[in-house]
């Protein structure tokens, strides 16, 4: 069996959202298009949260101030991830200390090695990211899997 191709590289930019697509796993019946945003508060232009229902994932840096200015239901990181408003991810190097702030959040921790001999682990981590996100969408936000989203 051949492995699926890796997802396209998506640079984050405050100027304009980028679009990411990835081959869907067989368990999903719809193609998903993701808009990757560096500053969702600015890019969604919505402070009351009406447009935030389409937010499906957050890369958590490990600082609560990251959520400053986000609308109610999204501004409190513990509530955000606990109630399933978005799937949280935290990326760290394997030899770095675990971030004590995110350990209490309901997020998926993705670890990378700095060693050149373990570069293949990047693909494993990326597949873990996509599989976790697809499972989250299927269980928590199936409406986003409809065609046209």
Q: Tell me if residue 133 falls in helix, strand or coil.
A: helix
**Taking Cα atoms as reference points, which of 69, 19, 20 lies closest to residue 40?**
69
| Alpha carbons 44 and 42: distance in angstroms, whole number | 6
Task: Please say if the pLDDT value at position 32 is more than 80.
Answer: no
Assign 9 a pLDDT band (cuts: 50, 70, 90).
Answer: very low
Assign 5 a pLDDT band (cuts: 50, 70, 90).
Answer: very low
Contact 88, 57 (CB under 8 A): yes
Task: Please say if the pLDDT value at position 14 is more than 60.
Answer: no
| Alpha carbons 107 and 105: distance in angstroms, whole number | 6
| Alpha carbons 25 and 90: distance in angstroms, whole number | 22
Which pLDDT does position 19 carry in this prediction?
A: 59
Predicted model pTM:
0.77
Which pLDDT does position 12 carry in this prediction?
A: 36
Phi–psi pair at 20, nearest 5 degrees: -120, 135
More confident residue, 22 or 57: 57
Phi–psi pair at 52, nearest 5 degrees: -80, -5
Q: Which segment of 6-20, 59-73, 112-126 scores lowest on mean pLDDT?
A: 6-20
More confident residue, 67 or 13: 67
Assign 89 a pLDDT band (cuts: 50, 70, 90).
Answer: very high
- 102-129 pLDDT per residue, tens: 888 889 999 988 887 888 888 888 889 9
Which pLDDT does position 144 carry in this prediction?
A: 81
Contact 13, 42 (CB under 8 A): no
């Amino acid at each position: 069996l051949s492995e699926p191709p890796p997802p396209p590289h998506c640079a984050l930019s405050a100027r304009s959202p980028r679009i990411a697509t990835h081959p869907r796993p067989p368990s999903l019946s719809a193609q998903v298009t993701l808009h990757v945003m560096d500053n969702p508060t600015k890019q969604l232009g919505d402070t009351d949260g009406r447009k935030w229902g389409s937010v499906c994932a957050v890369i958590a840096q490990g600082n609560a101030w990251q959520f400053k200015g986000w609308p109610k239901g999204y501004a409190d990181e513990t509530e955000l991830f606990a109630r399933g408003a978005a799937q949280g991810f935290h990326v760290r190097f394997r030899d770095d200390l675990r971030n004590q702030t995110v350990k209490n959040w309901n997020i998926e921790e993705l670890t990378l090695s700095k060693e050149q001999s373990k570069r293949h682990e990047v693909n494993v981590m990326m597949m873990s990211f996509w599989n976790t996100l697809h499972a989250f969408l299927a269980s928590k936000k199936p409406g986003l899997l409809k065609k046209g989203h």
